[in-house]
Homo-oligomer: A and B are copies of this chain.
């Protein structure tokens, strides 16, 4: 029987594997095997285990928003008065795929969102929608200074 969920301690080799596959998600098993100094089959077994334990949650290509036409990136903070605005927020998130990230955080019931937009007009449309839910404050992003993978301690 396969063990789909049980958490095991991650050893140094697992850490190296996670590090490698975050750096290059398209690396072949053979590449990874060389990197972590294991056979291909052992590498595959470990990678599978990490996937099945949902430690690796996905593999994805990164697309540069600017290169596909989003000249702007903004951070929007939104306060909500009541306790549960999950439904309203979910609706807006579904309506606007350009809200690429949304966090619910402490401090005056805030949501923090990251939005990509083709221009100010485009951004305004989304923020107008958000402002219906609660008071917002919008900051434009000058630069993504860092966007790093999860470190493996």
Q: Which residues of A contact B (CB under 8 A)?
A: 7, 10, 18, 21-26, 53-65, 67-70, 73, 75, 86, 89-90, 93, 97-107, 110-112, 114, 116, 118, 137, 139-153
Closest beta carbon of chain B to A25's beta carbon, Å: 4
Cross-interface CB contact of A55 among B63, B98, B150, B151, cutoff 8 Å: B63
Q: How many copies of the shown chain assemble into the complex?
A: 2
Q: Could you say which residues of chain B place their CB within 8 Å of the CB of A118?
A: 153
**23 A-B Cβ contacts within 8 A?**
A10-B68, A18-B68, A22-B62, A24-B59, A25-B25, A25-B26, A55-B63, A56-B63, A57-B64, A59-B59, A60-B60, A63-B149, A65-B150, A69-B153, A73-B103, A75-B103, A93-B148, A100-B151, A103-B114, A103-B144, A103-B145, A104-B143, A116-B150
Residue picked from A61, A103, A137, A143, most chain B C-beta under 10 Å: A61
A111 touches B18 (CB 8 A): no
Q: Could you say which residues of chain B place their CB within 8 Å of the CB of A64?
A: 54-57, 150
Q: Given that A70-B150, A118-B153, A149-B100 are contacting pairs, would A105 and B141 also be in contact in the complex, using a CB cutoff of 8 Å?
A: yes
B99 touches A146 (CB 8 A): yes
